[in-house]
Chain A
């Protein structure tokens, strides 16, 4: 395959590509899903294909194929250069970068492909069984997923990079029901780790706790609505980092002036308590990558430091447009999808408050507990995130549990009014789309943060 990719790169250059690359990728997934003490899915997926990219005068031509014979591949690479000519974008020439020649295996202790299916199945069945803590738990679900991704990339800088990524995720969710009311609760662990992630998890405790919390939620009250003090937990804090501040600092949005953070470098955009980072090198985190899908090594980018905006996330192209170095954030869902600027592990840094101290100061407010989802708004800077549940705070004390609610507000307003930042930072993995597609693995997080938000739940 290396020979063919090299020939294709050469051919695309001869056809007029100012920059080009060829990437062969394989994806292997295994999924086990156990529902109500019965195996509902035992599946294996394999996918392999090649993506050719050619850039001419600011436009890209792509051609991807799963047909891997030499003739199909050469035809595909010619299509890439032809497609690039149909574009109308103007753009800076990509500066010649030093070539990268590396070979990397995933840094895992127990490679998941070496673990027998029976052993994986046993853990998932145990997790499902542990969820059934009592009769009010009417539905139990335990899901294991592993992904092994191999990449071989060659480009017109002369780079030749081959690397492997391994991700494992174990998830439990339980539905509790009483008097016609249903509530759901979930727990998960994940990372760029091997099967040691599962072996190191106390399956019984994870399942038991998840089942019990689902039952507790049956007595959760309707959440309040209005503008109020909210202490966001690390997941909701992470959604603010990722969805609003993170997507808006992806430099493709900056280059076309679609982001509310365009021209923000050097400006005070948040309280001095706030520092925000994107770091693709965090060991074991779900969004970590050794290289992005352009072959640039991943890196740590400080986005906000003590409230001052520092910089953006870059691909090869946006870095050329803005005259800076690429940060290793050019990512694609797979070989069949385009590369554009994406986050890796995005989080707010720690402060010096304990959660107890934050709660003590609140006369009336709400504490969120676990996230469901968030949505980006690079144009308007609006923040929206859904919490799985929360707790009412009255006169410095936690009182009632409330069910799912949404928090919203202007991201910059929230960050400027943040008056307490917690000591402890945690990251949670997930899958991020840009718009509604192009899904890549990421993580986000931060500490507990206290600010003013609009809260509402049905």
Chain B
């Protein structure tokens, strides 16, 4: 059964069940994944997924039902379930209406025919290339790795005139390399792109080998220090998304959960920091002319030269705050196309871009007299409410007089992301796509590093 028929069936069913307003989100996807273990292909997977999410309003009573969808019967049952739930829900005084239709002002090229038509044999060849470039006889192996490619077609219609389609492709790679020997070191490389031609097996392999070898030489960090700290894009992305991403979410602002509530027009970062959300950037995994409510998206400045300019919204929270929606109501994911219809609609940046400076990462390092560069944390999360973090460093480098002189581990990097953003020394230009962000290495001042004695 075609997605279009399922979406239309669900829509008609909800209307005939006396829903005042209806929105149907549908997606069909084909995913291929290859998993590597011990430098050989272990699993090859192909997945077919199709589903819908139906949101209805009955006299301001709201509900959602979603289902994987194979037949008209599934679509009808899903729409009826949403209507039945809405009848049981209390009226929501904050709800006005689902968004009105609008024209997209751009259509970023995020469909790559090479990914769309990829065969499992093609993907196996690509995986073998990455492994070959990462393995060194008696030096490094690939204990695990994964490439996932997907193509997805999305359809959104609502009773207020939204009637949009979107198609995208994605490739997501996550590989580790490990040195062979008594005290193994490990490197991790994660790569995101909508375009297959961006995947460079040689560059991935080179980085993995270098990381693993450096990590094997790491010594536990002793003592404590506070000073210049360089955070690379792979780490900084999650730290920015979990702090800034949370703070600019219009619902968190409205409910006073955001540390940046009421701070529009105020200095929230150093003047070297400018952050925009750009849904038109073709490097971005979530780029699109529409969000997942069918609202046209637009490039927005979030922070300009350190000054907070505004927040992001879906249609419900825009109504709650009494402002225009910004087209940031999303279900989509940067890593996966499966089960997207099951996800609740939430406010997210589409491509949070930290505008680059002029120096390369190497040039930034060469200008550091006494500092550290953090290559890998256990997991770089930040307390979204307070900005506080204490992150275990799994691989870092001491920098002296512009040179990386020693690799270390077993340390905690302790600080506060909102304070750190006010203490930025410099921003590099090594722009890297990580999840829903594109950002470079940034040098911060005053973050504490604590060792084990």
Contact = CB atoms under 8 A, between A and B. Distances in A.
Interface in B35-69: 35, 37-38, 40-51, 62-69
Nearest to B388: A458
A258 B65 contact: no
Contacts of A60: 42-44
Given A67-B48, A177-B256, A338 B70 contact: no
A410 B410 contact: yes
Interface string A171-190: 00001010001111000000
Contacts of B255: 35-36, 138-139, 175
A204 interface: no
Interface stretch (A80-88, A264-272, A276-284, A442-450): A80-88
Contact of B257 (A69, A87, A139): A139
Contact of B51 (A38, A66, A84, A455): A66
A29 B81 CA distance: 13
Nearest to B451: A454
Nearest to B252: A139
B322 interface: no
User: Interface SS of chain A: helix, strand, loop or mixed?
Assistant: strand
Contacts of B448: 225, 456
A49 B67 CA distance: 11
Interface size bucket, A side?
35 or more
Contacts of B94: 38
Contacts of A29: 342
Interface stretch (A11-19, A149-157, A399-407): A399-407
Given A66-B49, A89-B40, A177-B256, A42 B452 contact: no
A36 B410 CA distance: 42
Contact of A62 (B44, B63, B383): B44
B85 A258 contact: no
A132 B386 CA distance: 21
Interface size bucket, B side?
35 or more
Given A45-B66, A382-B394, A403 B388 contact: yes
A84 B391 contact: no
Interface stretch (A346-354, A373-381, A420-428): A373-381
A158 interface: no
Interface string B170-200: 0000100010000010100000000000000
A59 B385 contact: no
30 contacts: A29-B342, A35-B255, A38-B90, A42-B88, A60-B43, A61-B44, A61-B45, A62-B43, A63-B47, A67-B70, A86-B121, A121-B89, A175-B256, A225-B224, A258-B144, A336-B338, A338-B35, A375-B379, A377-B394, A379-B186, A384-B378, A386-B390, A404-B383, A409-B452, A436-B174, A454-B410, A454-B450, A454-B452, A455-B412, A456-B412
Q: Which 9 A-B pairs have the closest CB atoms?
A: A406-B390, A458-B388, A384-B392, A83-B44, A62-B45, A456-B412, A375-B378, A456-B414, A88-B40
Interface of A: 29, 31, 35-36, 38-39, 41-49, 58-69, 72, 76, 79, 82-84, 86-90, 117-118, 121, 138-139, 175, 177, 181-184, 225-227, 252, 256-258, 334, 336, 338, 372-373, 375, 377, 379-380, 382-384, 386, 403-406, 408-410, 435-437, 454-458
